[in-house]
């Protein structure tokens, strides 16, 4: 036990001081879907492939919408997008107290 105590004194703490020291995300981790909306051609491939039906694409008013709380972050929509306007962000959003502040629904429309 004395060896463990001495080792910890020399090396320092193993844990991070979380709010101040944030661990970088893993390269292969799945975070949240982001879109480069001006590149979107509104083909609807992402909405047809989404297993959670979290993405809604409408051709006529040219709108794209995702409900982030319904999204399971599987990444299938990113893989099937023909113009590669969707991407999976690895950074997680900050925690909030109320759902309306969390960006639950992200909607884009062309004027």
Task: Give residue 96's pLDDT.
Answer: 64
6 lies in a domain? no
Q: pTM to 2 decimals?
A: 0.69
pLDDT of res. 16 = 83
| Domain containing residue 90 | 25-109
CATH number at residue 61: 3.30.70.3270
Per-residue pLDDT of the chain (111 residues; tens, 9 = 90+): 888 888 888 887 778 887 788 887 777 777 888 999 999 999 999 999 999 999 999 998 999 999 988 999 899 999 999 999 999 887 766 666 665 556 677 788 876
pLDDT recorded at residue 17: 83
DSSP codes joined into one string, 15-41: S--TTTSPPPPPTT---EEEE-GGG--
């Amino acid at each position: 036990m004395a060896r463990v105590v001495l080792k910890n004194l020399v090396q320092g703490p193993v844990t991070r001081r979380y709010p101040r020291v944030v661990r970088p995300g893993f390269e292969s981790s799945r975070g949240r879907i982001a879109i480069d909306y001006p590149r979107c051609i509104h083909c609807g491939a992402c909405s047809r492939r989404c297993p959670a039906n979290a993405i809604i694409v409408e051709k006529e008013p040219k709108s794209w919408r995702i409900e982030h709380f319904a999204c399971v972050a599987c990444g299938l929509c990113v893989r099937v997008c023909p113009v590669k306007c969707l991407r999976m962000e690895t950074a997680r959003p900050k925690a909030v107290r109320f759902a309306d502040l969390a960006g639950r629904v992200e909607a884009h429309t062309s004027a």
